[in-house]
Amino acid sequence: MEHLLINPGFPLLSTLIFLPLAGAFLLLPFKNDDTCRYISLGVTALVALISLLLIAGFDTTTARFQFAETRPWIETLNINYTIGVDGISLLLVVMTTLIMPFCVLASWSYIKVRVKPFMICLLVMETAMVGVFVALDFVLFYILWEAMLIPMYLLIGIWGGPRRIYASVKFFLYTLGGSILLLVAIIWLAKTNNFSFFIPDMMWQDYGFRAQILVFIAFFLAFAIKVPMFPFHTWLPAAHVEAPTAGSVILASILLKMGTYGFLRFALPIVPDATVALMPYVLWLSIAGIIYGGFTALAQQDMKKLIAYSSVGHMGFVTLGIFVLNKQGIEGAILQMINHGITTGALFLCVGMIYERTHSRELSVSAGVGKYMPVFVTFLAFFSLSSLGFPGTNSFVGEFMILAGTFKYDGVMHGNFPYLALAAIPGAVLAAAYMLRLLQKVVWGGTNNPDQSYLADLNWREIVTLAPFLLFVFWIGLGAQPFIDYMDTSVTVLLDNFNAHRAQAIALAGELLP
């Protein structure tokens, strides 16, 4: 198979997938809460370290899937266990594995009851998440994609806030409902391709325009709900508000990326003509998300809701970057996925730390804690700056690349006037307004609040949890090039194939295609 670079030696990716699962089984006999915490931390940290081998061994000169493994799984249906990473998924996989130990750390004292099941959920979650990003068989992908919902449902439903049942059911049904058509599309695609579920086999085929549109719609529903794109985002604030800190971090940093990853991995290569035809609508929905998310975040009183709505806006930038279909846009979008994972994940960690102290997510209750928690507000300030796209931090680089890509798209599509770029821009002022509001309240506000001097500043565990995020905020912010290099070849080949396919399709169909 020319798409795969089979990994002859140690099965690195399978280790990353199954080690957390093994860790979950390992926890079963233990009763002591602390033992469970330490074991989970150890397992996730080990997985994180192993994943660094991916970075070390990754060949940036090829767009083929590396560290690939393939084994027959359900032979009668031609379903295989095929996995591999390329430049598009590599950083997402590594981000997932690197964030997990910090999710365990963030739950150290936050989760006081049923610690063992909680940690098992986290570990199962990690297995599913890594699997989704590396799966190259569509059935494997779909199973893991759905399997992820169960531990997340439990995380929200058991360890969540007061309205946890409502939030978890809404999350589960909304995202499940979205992906039902995805299964139909997968089976149809496999049928059309001689019952091959191998994803690269499905790419760049000639399915006919109407079929492509239908498949795109199925993809779109599944992925847009996951991202979430406006107006499919209403499950997100509910889920975030009720989820425990680690749940929010996983949700924001990793789960949301699966939607945008899906667009890149499936929508663009499998249904390119439909992508081009429906692109304008997706782009304007992205713009709507940026503006709508910003305005809504501005009016929130609940810190988690505020950050949840800011995610809607930020992910709008990501989908904008993907669908302008040029290099700056797509690479900016991938970088921005990582950036959003880092920044928003860290912001949710920060809110969790306040919540542990004040037992409230209300902005007004937390107002003024900065006076007693100088270390905490220092972290919060840096992450807020990153969130509002401050130059020198990670988000600025991603957003600028996306903006440059959007300008290019405007140049091609709209003659000489950058409608799209201009429409996206007010999002930046909104981001400044809502993040400053959060920061200002937390740091300085609330002279009327009761005495908060009992609040303890961050302990060492919490500092260790936040510090790596800060490191990446500035690392990507000041030297983004190494990160971009990992994705460059894959994105270039993706776009080359895309343009070649388009040229061919236009030549074949003449005027029929848009």
Partner 1 sequence: MEQTTYLGFIPLLPLAGALVLGVMHVATCQGNRIAEKLYGILGCIGPVLSFILALKLFFSLKGLPAPDRFLTHEPFTWFSVGDLTVPMGFLADPLSSLMLLFVTFVGSLIHVYSIGYMAGDKNFGKFFAYLNLFLGSMLILVLGNSPLVMFVGWEGVGLCSYLLISFYSEERENVVAGNKAFIVNRIGDLGFVLGMAFLFWGIGADGFDYLSLKANAHNLTPALGITVCLLLFVGATGKSAQIPLYVWLPDAMAGPTPVSALIHAATMVTAGVYMVARFSFLYIEVPVAGTVVAWIGILTALLAAVFGMFQNDIKKILAYSTVSQLGYMFAGVGVAAYSAGIFHVFTHAFFKALLFLGAGSVILALHHQQNIWKMGGLKKKLPITYGTVLVGSLALAGCPPFAGFFSKDEILFSALATGHTGIWFIGVIVAGMTAYYTFRMFFVVFHGTPRDRHSYDHAQESPRVMTIPLIVLAIGAGFAGFLNFPAIFGGHQQVSHWLAPSLAEHHPDAGLGVEFLAIGGSVLAFVIGISIAYRKFFGGAEEPVYRGFCKFAANKFYVDELYATIIVRPYRFIGKAIRQMIEPYITDAPAQGVPWLYRMTGWVFKVVQVGYVRVYAIYMVIGLSIMSLLISQSLNL
- In the complex, the smallest distance separating the C-beta of residue 328 from partner 1, rounded to whole angstroms, is 5
- In the complex, the smallest distance separating the C-beta of residue 486 from partner 1, rounded to whole angstroms, is 13
For 66, residues 6+ apart whose C-beta sits below 8 A from its C-beta are: 5, 7, 57, 58, 59, 84, 85, 86
For partner 1, the closer of residues 245 and 393 by Cβ is 393
- The verdict on 289 binding partner 1 (CB under 8 A) reads no
Q: Which H helix or E strand runs over 66?
A: strand 65-74
Q: Which stretch binds partner 1 (CB under 8 A): 14-22, 44-52, 198-206, 421-429?
A: 421-429
Q: Where are the beta strands (DSSP E) in 170-275?
A: none
Whether residue 89 contacts residue 265, with contact meaning beta carbons closer than 8 Å, is answered with yes
- In the complex, the smallest distance separating the C-beta of residue 457 from partner 1, rounded to whole angstroms, is 7
- In the complex, the smallest distance separating the C-beta of residue 298 from partner 1, rounded to whole angstroms, is 4
Q: Enter the DSSP assignment of 209.
A: H
Q: Which stretch binds partner 1 (CB under 8 A): 96-104, 124-132, 347-355, 428-436?
A: 428-436
For 495, residues 6+ apart whose C-beta sits below 8 A from its C-beta are: 325, 326, 327, 330
d(CA 89, CA 275): 20
Q: Which of 226, 314, 357, 408 binds partner 1 (CB under 8 A)?
A: 408
For partner 1, the closer of residues 174 and 469 by Cβ is 174
- The verdict on 475 binding partner 1 (CB under 8 A) reads no
Q: Which stretch binds partner 1 (CB under 8 A): 90-98, 135-143, 250-258, 434-442?
A: 434-442
Give the three-class secondary structure for 193.
coil
Q: How many other CB atoms sit within 10 Å of the CB of residue 75? A: 8
Q: Which of 32, 109, 234, 504 binds partner 1 (CB under 8 A)?
A: 234
For partner 1, the closer of residues 34 and 485 by Cβ is 485
**Token code pair at residue 428:** 């930046």
Q: Which of 40, 80, 82, 300 binds partner 1 (CB under 8 A)?
A: 300
Whether residue 215 contacts residue 202, with contact meaning beta carbons closer than 8 Å, is answered with no
For 65, residues 6+ apart whose C-beta sits below 8 A from its C-beta are: 3, 4, 5, 84, 85, 86, 136, 200
What part of residues 155-174 is at the interface with partner 1 (CB under 8 A)?
Answer: 170, 173-174
Whether residue 170 contacts residue 238, with contact meaning beta carbons closer than 8 Å, is answered with yes
Q: Which stretch binds partner 1 (CB under 8 A): 97-105, 124-132, 270-278, 444-452?
A: 444-452
For partner 1, the closer of residues 233 and 240 by Cβ is 233
- In the complex, the smallest distance separating the C-beta of residue 246 from partner 1, rounded to whole angstroms, is 25
- The verdict on 428 binding partner 1 (CB under 8 A) reads yes
- In the complex, the smallest distance separating the C-beta of residue 363 from partner 1, rounded to whole angstroms, is 13
Whether residue 365 contacts residue 303, with contact meaning beta carbons closer than 8 Å, is answered with no
- The verdict on 447 binding partner 1 (CB under 8 A) reads yes
d(CA 260, CA 256): 7
Beta bridge partners of 82: 70
Q: Which of 165, 180, 478, 500 binds partner 1 (CB under 8 A)?
A: 478
What part of residues 345-374 is at the interface with partner 1 (CB under 8 A)?
Answer: 374
For partner 1, the closer of residues 13 and 421 by Cβ is 421
For partner 1, the closer of residues 161 and 411 by Cβ is 411
CA atoms within 13 A on the CB side of 410: 17
- The verdict on 422 binding partner 1 (CB under 8 A) reads yes
Classify each residue of 34-70 as buried b or exposed e, where b means 16 or more C-beta atoms within 10 Å of its C-beta: eebbebbbebbbbbbebbeebeeebeeeebbbbbbbb
Beta bridge partners of 137: 198
d(CA 144, CA 149): 9
- The verdict on 296 binding partner 1 (CB under 8 A) reads yes
Q: How many other CB atoms sit within 10 Å of the CB of residue 130? A: 31
**Token code pair at residue 286:** 């992205």
- The verdict on 331 binding partner 1 (CB under 8 A) reads yes
Q: Which of 30, 38, 284, 295 binds partner 1 (CB under 8 A)?
A: 295
Whether residue 363 contacts residue 443, with contact meaning beta carbons closer than 8 Å, is answered with no
Peptide bond into 29 cis (omega under 30): no
- The verdict on 514 binding partner 1 (CB under 8 A) reads no
Q: Which of 210, 481, 507, 510 binds partner 1 (CB under 8 A)?
A: 481
- Interface residues with partner 1 (CB under 8 A)? 170, 173-174, 177, 230-231, 233-235, 292, 295-300, 326-328, 331-332, 374-375, 378, 385, 390-392, 397, 400-401, 403-404, 407-408, 411, 416, 418, 421-422, 425-426, 428-429, 432-433, 436-437, 440, 443-445, 447, 457, 478-481, 484, 488
